Amino acid sequence: MKKMLTCGVLAAAVSVGFAAQAETKPDPKLVVVISIDQFSANLYAQHRGEFTGGLATLSSGVVYPNGYQSHAFTETCPGHSTLLTGKHPNKTGISANDWYDRATGKTVYCLADPTVTLADDPKGRAVSPANMVATTYGDWLKAVSPKSRVFGVSGKDRGAITMSGHNADGQFWYQPGFGFTTYVREGQTAEERLKPVAALNAKLAADLKKHSYTWDYAKDSAKRCKALEADYQTGDRKWHAGLPIAAATSDADKLRDLYASPYTDAATLELAQDLRETYGLGDGPQVDVLTVSLSATDFIGHRYGTRGPEMCDQIARLDDRLGAFLKSLDKVKGGVLVVLAADHGGADFAERLHDEGYDSERVIGKPWIAGLNKQLRADLGLSWDPLKADGGIDQVYVVGADGKTPSITDRARITAAALVLIKRDPAVAEAFDSNAILTLEAAPADAYPEEISVAERLRRSAYPGRVGDILVAFKPYRVPATPGLTYVSTHGSPWDYDRRVPILFWWKGATPHERVLPLDTVDIAPTIAAATGVKPPVDVDGVCRPLVYGQAC
């Protein structure tokens, strides 16, 4: 299906008129790009009628309710990597949150970088943009406007870094028990790198010491959200969905509960506002960029599911806090363009879906991969387990007896035998040898993202040397996740409930405009670039979409 208007649709659009001739074109000095982690199009639609704050404001601009992360492995790191690079994960280098390095026999985190250290903990997991091989809109901007400032903030390192790019002036993420942290390169000091967040970190610590955070219902949404309370069993655990969250007894659990609550988003938005005002972003002659990745919706979705009282309260609080943040942007001296999207969507937990009549069930990863290894050892006469799936069972790696790169012959025979077994599994929709995916002819550039094949979705995820040898698409609502005390739901599939996200563009003077046809997240960066006079690289996957009705980019 091609991206074209039928005569009927075109005639309807013309008859509406939009009063668009007088619409103000965005002319920003500050570009704010917000990602709400795990904010699916379904979640947006479910709560849209309840918005009264920031989400209501942003929904009064140009609204794409059917945006798409059009790749297959819908995880946080690859999803964030598409938002401001204009490229799919097969070009950003971020194929998953984690991948298996067959050269070393170790699992690698998507942003791992042993050449740097963490500002809050020199022995912690060090991260940087090094593994992302694509550049972002902020990088393109600074290349032509060196005085432009670019900052990225998030509850997660992978939210702050992948959106703000390689040359950001600051990238900060929340570390419970410390505050906002960043990475330190050789020749830099932690004190120097943390200077932009030092005052806020001290304030946050003092506030928590004075008043510990208790998550209970917000006053305005309490009745609506409390009505969703119910009892569930996930795995062997019986629990009650509802607020307030019971007080933790250990310090570690207190920090975990704080992180997986609306507090993380509130702190992130406070830092975003603080950086905006401290550095006068948008007040000068140049264009500045502020990226904000809000992580709490993802933490809460994983821990409590997406449709219970916890998520209801989270969305209400997020809407309210976003409203305060947008109000603070009234102080910006130049124009402001705000974009909101998400790194991926997410379905609810399998047990609640099953009880509602959906054919939903869990596929438990460790026994699944163990069963394959046992059968392959017997069938092929192997003395070792030939399959690894440390980053998730949708990407399976073939290894030699030493746990590293196998011979070409072993790789071929093990992959072929494993694919036969995997395709027999009734929980599997499709499975492929990644070599076939890597050499697959790309779908036409004008193909709608919801209509591309599963193989094409996988192709857009597959980065050579990092992606697995066997790529698996489990059937819809077959959830490859083990339920635990603090984990009941997940995402990551190639299906629309994980791929569909809202994409909103807003600026003062924008005429409310709903666009029902899909928009790919890789179109966001070229669209922003056109609005600010910046030329994107020639090899981006996305294209500019005109923000003003009837006008070209």
pLDDT band at residue 136 using 50, 70 and 90 as cut-offs: very high
Question: To the nearest 10°, the Cα dihedral for 72, 73, 74, 77?
Answer: -140
> Does the pLDDT of residue 43 top 50, yes or no?
yes
Positions annotated as catalytic residues are 76
CA separation for the pair 405, 425 (Å, rounded) = 26
CA separation for the pair 553, 542 (Å, rounded) = 13
Nearest to 434 by CA among 384, 410, 407, 398: 398
> What's the pTM value of the predicted model, to 2 decimals?
0.95
* Beta bridge mates, 33: 291, 339
Token pair belonging to 508: 């003062």
Contacts (Cβ under 8 Å, ≥6 apart) of 32 = 272, 289, 290, 291, 292, 329, 336, 337, 338, 339
pLDDT, tens digit, for every residue of 182-195? 999 999 999 999 99
Q: Which helix (H) or strand (E) holds 258?
A: helix 251-259
- Look at 17 and 146; give whichever has higher pLDDT: 146
CA separation for the pair 515, 253 (Å, rounded) = 44
Q: Is 404 exposed, middle or buried (0-12, 13-18, 19+ CB in 10 A)?
A: middle
Q: 364-426+428-474 — its CATH code?
A: 3.30.1360.150
pLDDT given at position 24: 87
Q: How many CB atoms lie within 10 A of CB 101?
A: 15
- CA distance to 14, 65, 104, 465, per residue, from 4 (Å): 15, 18, 48, 37
Structural contact between residues 217 and 242, judged by C-beta atoms closer than 8 angstroms: no
> Does the pLDDT of residue 20 top 70, yes or no?
no
CA separation for the pair 547, 553 (Å, rounded) = 7
pLDDT band at residue 280 using 50, 70 and 90 as cut-offs: very high
pLDDT given at position 134: 98
Structural contact between residues 61 and 356, judged by C-beta atoms closer than 8 angstroms: no
> Does the pLDDT of residue 178 top 90, yes or no?
yes
Contacts (Cβ under 8 Å, ≥6 apart) of 403 = 105, 384, 388
pLDDT band at residue 445 using 50, 70 and 90 as cut-offs: confident
Instruction: Please tell me whether residue 5 adopts helix, strand or coil conformation.
Output: coil
Kindly state the average pLDDT of the residues 275-292.
Answer: 98
- At residue 412, what is the residue type? A
> Does the pLDDT of residue 314 top 60, yes or no?
yes
- CA distance to 55, 77, 221, 320, 333, per residue, from 314 (Å): 13, 22, 10, 10, 32
CA separation for the pair 438, 462 (Å, rounded) = 7
Average of per-residue pLDDT values in the chain: 95
pLDDT given at position 72: 98
Where does 133-187 have alpha helices with state H?
137-144, 157-164
CA separation for the pair 538, 48 (Å, rounded) = 37
CA separation for the pair 53, 319 (Å, rounded) = 5
> Does the pLDDT of residue 4 top 80, yes or no?
no
CA separation for the pair 513, 497 (Å, rounded) = 24
CA separation for the pair 130, 166 (Å, rounded) = 8
Q: Give me the residue spans of the domains in the chain.
A: 28-79+124-354+495-531, 364-426+428-474
Instruction: Please tell me whether residue 303 adopts helix, strand or coil conformation.
Output: helix
pLDDT band at residue 22 using 50, 70 and 90 as cut-offs: low
> Does the pLDDT of residue 2 top 70, yes or no?
no
* Beta bridge mates, 101: 106
Q: 28-79+124-354+495-531 — its CATH code?
A: 3.40.720.10
Rg (the chain; Cα; Å): 23
> Does the pLDDT of residue 323 top 90, yes or no?
yes
CA separation for the pair 259, 204 (Å, rounded) = 13
pLDDT band at residue 50 using 50, 70 and 90 as cut-offs: very high
> Does the pLDDT of residue 469 top 60, yes or no?
yes
- At residue 202, what is the residue type? A
CA atoms within 13 A on the CB side of 420: 9
Task: Answer positive or negative: Cα dihedral of 46, 48, 54, 58.
Answer: positive
Kindly state the average pLDDT of the residues 198-226.
Answer: 96
Token pair belonging to 323: 């409203």
pLDDT, tens digit, for every residue of 359-400? 999 999 999 999 999 999 999 999 999 999 988 999 999 999
pLDDT given at position 7: 40
> Does the pLDDT of residue 9 top 50, yes or no?
no
Greatest extent of the chain over all pairs of C-alpha atoms, in Å: 74
